[in-house]
Each structure stands twice: as structure tokens, then as C-alpha cells.
Structure 1
């Protein structure tokens, strides 16, 4: 289990092979000059992220602005580069020799003009094969940041219903959205069980687009519990602990 548990690309590939999960996984490839330009040509916006990273560290957003200009958004800094050569050189300088992957960016909805995604906790009890969604929290990116990781971008955490009602997708049915997110999250846990048979908890990073289509950004085997403490939702926090 060791290394593969933290390898985002290996987990992505394994999940992508499942026909019922594939539609919910944004196109992702190992980062190279070719894959970067190929995905940028197709999607105009991509995320370049470390295969081994966590907590939103080292994530770079690259956007094709047209007319041979590219925007590079890293932490809370934005740079515009002209030409592919200079753009690639700048990104390479940032990532060095670490293993990275490039992923189609999900256009996330916003709360107060800041993008948000969600952390969904899926668990099963010790002698049970039944997976249950035990926690959900909305993570809003901090000012000028693209990542929603709370400690990294000093963003905001909100309860699911509260967050959706305050967001740019408040016109969508909260109940339908919740059941769609739960369905995809449970499906992910069931799929990952084949790779990590004894494992009983997953923290899934889930995003929707402005139309409410669900995407799994990544699956974490050791999700932080601090979200639920910060949210002061002790009921949810204790439910998660009771499953552990």
C-alpha cells in the first residue's frame, strides 16, 4: 500500500479504468512539454500539480490567453508570459525535477467571487462492507488563490447547504447536488477498495462545474480531520470518529 497510497497519478489511473467512474475524472496526464500543450490546446486552462504533493502545495494553474500569451497562477501570484518557450521554462523552474502531472481545470462555481470545491469523507465500519458518506465540507479559496486548502490559502470553510445557498450555483437543487456528489464519492471508495482492501476511510476532493456536473479531483487515504473541527460541526466530527 505504502507508496501508491500517496501517488495521485497512480490512483487516478486506477479509478479512470472504471467505466462508471471515468466520466467524473478530469483528463490527467504525466507532466511533459507535450502533455502540457496538448491539454492546453484542448481545454485552455490546466492545473499542473505534484504527483506526491498534499495540502495544495506546488499547484500551478496555466491558462491560454490567446495571441501566444499564457497566464501562470502560482500561490497568490499571477504572471503573464509570452510564447510557449518562455512559459514552459518558467513552469520548469518552479517545479524542478519533481514528478508532476497536468490536469484539465474544472471551472468551479464561486462564493463571493472565490472558487470553491468540497471535501467528502467516505467510511465503512470495521467488519462491514457498506460505505457511508460521514462528512461534507465546502472549501472556499482564499483571496487571489486558486487552491482551496484552508491553511494554505487562508480560505473559508462552510457547511454544505449554507455554502451552496450562498454560491453562484444556488439555483441548483441542494438535495440533487448532494445525492449526485454522494453517489460519485461512494463509487470512488468502492473502486479504491480493490487497490487498498483493508482501508476504511477516504477524503475525496470533489468539484462541480457551474452546471453542477461532479468531478473527483483526487482521493486522499489520510484526510485531515481539522476541517470539521474548524467548522465547529461536532456532530459530523464525532460521527467520523465513531467510524474510525
Structure 2
């Protein structure tokens, strides 16, 4: 079974370097959800097991109530009915976590995040690919399976930092350093050779760790005009497959 989101979150929290980049996250209970909604204008409720953006519920505070949305479906409810609305979208017998929502920077008025694809074809981690994942219009998740598409990371960072190459270079270094630290941290507890790290940048230019996926998909990188990253990923996959 894949490593759950909360377990990886707790492992990353043990690293003091990573702790400041992790948005507040708890196991989802009625009381923890209400507490998070009191503190933040938006929260995300995610299945602990799962990928591709499936089953994620967004709860957004409105004047006098809440918008509860899952996929294309949404409900506008009062404060007294918000928990019932959330439960209507939950799958039975699945554990969920509740995470602080972030005010993300936008690229052409659409939210985006950053997928870093790390691999360990020999005995040390390397970054094989980095790309921006831009959400489809009116979507709140960026995943490929939910209509998200890849853009070259340099192009997106130049856009949000208004062509300031110094800021872009500093952001690149931070992304690379955080991703390598995440891979080494999670690798302490689990024998893995690939990791997909998802990072986000908020409206103030601050970087956040969204999650780390121990079974990352690579199709996103097939959308980039430069084929270098997908070739590197596939070459490393072959090397990993030959490991004794």
C-alpha cells in the first residue's frame, strides 16, 4: 500500500528545515474541521490515500456561510450545515485530513503548483524533472487527470516575478534544496527510488510544501516542448528497474 499523506507529513515535520514550509494539517474530525475553518478562510479536505486530485473537498468561507465543493459539485450552506455538507462528499471507511488553504499565486489567472520529480537510479537522489502544473479554468486542483497541464517552470516563474531573473533564480535554488531535503527525509523511513514533490507559491512569493507522492506519475512531463526531462525520467526508470 502507498504511504499515506499524513504519515509523510508527520515525517517531514520531524525535520526542522522543512517544518516552516508545511501548511497546518490535522486528521479530519468534525471538531478539527470547525477549528480550522475558524482560523482560515479556506481549507482542503483530502483522502489520506489517493492521488490525481480525486476526492479533494474545498471548503471556502463566504459572507454568512460556506461553499463546499468537490469536483464539479458544490453546495452553499450555513455554518450549522457545513459539516453535514462535507460528509456528503466523503467516501465511507476512508480516512481524511484537513489542511489549511493557501492564497496561491496565479499564472494567467489560473492557480498552479510545481511538480518536482526525483529519482534515485544509483545511490543518491537527483532531480530528473521540474514543471509547473497549471489548473484548468475554474478548477481548484492542478492534477493532470483533472485537466491540469504542464508549463515550463522558468516561463511561469518569470511571469509571477515580473521578469526578475534574480528572484526566479533564488526561487529555483529554494525549490531544488527543499525537494532534495524532502526526498532524503522520507527515504529515512521508506525504501523508495522515486518521489514526486508538490510545492506551491502563495501571493506573497512564499513557497509551501503541499505533499510528496511516493508513486509519482510522469505523463505531465510529456506535455513539455523540451523532451529532455521525460527522456531523463524514462532512462532512470530503466536503471531503477535493473537494480539488484
In the alignment, what sits opposite 1:149?
143
3-state DSSP of counterpart to 2:141: coil
Once residues 134 and 96 of structure 1 are traced to their aligned partners in structure 2, the CA distance between those partners, rounded to angstroms, is 35
The reply on whether 1:182 has 2:176 as its aligned counterpart is: yes
Taking only aligned residues, the RMSD between alpha carbons, in angstroms, comes to 1.6
In the alignment, what sits opposite 1:108?
104
Deviations 1:23-69 (A, max 9, x none): 111111011111111111112211111111210001111112243x1
Calculate the TM-score normalised by the size of structure 2: 0.90
The reply on whether 1:133 has 2:107 as its aligned counterpart is: no
Judged with a 3 Å threshold, the aligned counterparts in structure 2 of structure 1 residues 221 and 42 are, in CA distance, closer, same or farther, namely same
In the alignment, what sits opposite 1:75?
71
Post-superposition shift, 1:225? 1.1
Aligned runs of 1:2-13 on 2, under 5 Å?
3=1, 5-13=2-10
Once residues 119 and 213 of structure 1 are traced to their aligned partners in structure 2, the CA distance between those partners, rounded to angstroms, is 16
The reply on whether 1:36 has 2:29 as its aligned counterpart is: no
The reply on whether 1:224 has 2:217 as its aligned counterpart is: yes
Is the 8 Å Cα contact of residues 25 and 98 (structure 2) preserved in structure 1?
yes
Q: How many residue pairs end up in the alignment?
A: 234
Is the 8 Å Cα contact of residues 49 and 60 (structure 1) preserved in structure 2?
yes
In the alignment, what sits opposite 1:159?
152
Once residues 80 and 47 of structure 1 are traced to their aligned partners in structure 2, the CA distance between those partners, rounded to angstroms, is 16
In the alignment, what sits opposite 1:199?
192
Once residues 145 and 91 of structure 2 are traced to their aligned partners in structure 1, the CA distance between those partners, rounded to angstroms, is 24
3-state DSSP of counterpart to 1:174: helix
The reply on whether 1:56 has 2:53 as its aligned counterpart is: yes
Post-superposition shift, 1:77? 3.8
Once residues 212 and 182 of structure 1 are traced to their aligned partners in structure 2, the CA distance between those partners, rounded to angstroms, is 16
Once residues 192 and 145 of structure 2 are traced to their aligned partners in structure 1, the CA distance between those partners, rounded to angstroms, is 26
The reply on whether 1:14 has 2:14 as its aligned counterpart is: no
Is the 8 Å Cα contact of residues 77 and 144 (structure 1) preserved in structure 2?
no
Calculate the TM-score normalised by the size of structure 1: 0.90
Is the 8 Å Cα contact of residues 73 and 146 (structure 1) preserved in structure 2?
no
Deviations 1:64-105 (A, max 9, x none): 2243x111222134432112x311101101104221110011
3-state DSSP of counterpart to 1:222: coil
In the alignment, what sits opposite 2:241?
none
In the alignment, what sits opposite 2:90?
95
Displaced runs of 4+ in structure 1, greater than 4 A?
none
The reply on whether 1:233 has 2:230 as its aligned counterpart is: no
Point out where structure 2 has 5 or more consecutive residues left out of the alignment: 238-244
